Amino acid sequence: MRLSQIPKYLLVSVLLVVGGLGGLVSAHLGRAAAHERSFTITAHKYAYDPPVLRVIRGDRLHIRLVAKDVTHGFYLEGYNLDAKARPENPTFWARHPSEQQDYKEVEEISFVANRTGKFRYRCSITCGYMHPFMQGELIVSPNYLYSAAVGVALALALAMPLIFGRPAAGGQS
């Protein structure tokens, strides 16, 4: 077997593996990016319904806030979001607290859940005795498939010089 045949064989198999993985990655990436999640959060004394939102990192969230009894707030930790809703109002008000903006009237809050972890949301408008206990949780799970694929791709990239460097380094005639 001639030496020049070995790199070619390796080249082809590596390209096939990389190509296949690339396809997988883009498929999963595309699917993750396309996930639109809509939630209507109903706030009432002294809870949110639903109390827990579960999403996958990369999901785009569309949140509508509805107040049942009195004016309630919705402060989402970790995502720089604050909102408030009045009863019998189809729209509500939202702002990014860090930018010291005024509340803007909106029909929904929309953002990409790009941070994994558990993020509390709590009422930011004093609404009664139990107001401090009015809270819920946004749980953003990592996209395992995406992470695994990135890891494999990185490993492959690191292995490339080893694979293609060998014939040159150990060259014989």
Interface ranges with Cu ion (CB under 5 A): 72, 123, 127, 131, 134
Q: CB nearer to Cu ion: give 109 or 127.
A: 127
| Shortest Å, Cβ 124 to Cu ion | 8
Q: Tell me, what amino acid is at 85?
A: A
End-to-end Cα spacing for the chain: 12
H/E segment holding residue 81: strand 81-85
Q: Tell me, what amino acid is at 163?
A: I
| Shortest Å, Cβ 123 to Cu ion | 3
| Shortest Å, Cβ 65 to Cu ion | 12
| Shortest Å, Cβ 61 to Cu ion | 21
Q: Which two tokens stand for residue 120?
A: 């509390």
Three-state SS for 30? helix
- 15 exposed, middle or buried (CB, 10 Å; 0-12, 13-18, 19+)? exposed
Q: Are 54 and 35 in contact (CB under 8 A)?
A: no
Three-state SS for 5? helix
Q: CB nearer to Cu ion: give 116 or 135.
A: 135
| Shortest Å, Cβ 142 to Cu ion | 31
Q: CB nearer to Cu ion: give 35 or 131.
A: 131
Q: CB nearer to Cu ion: give 69 or 107.
A: 69
CA distance 4 to 86: 75
Q: CB nearer to Cu ion: give 115 or 120.
A: 120
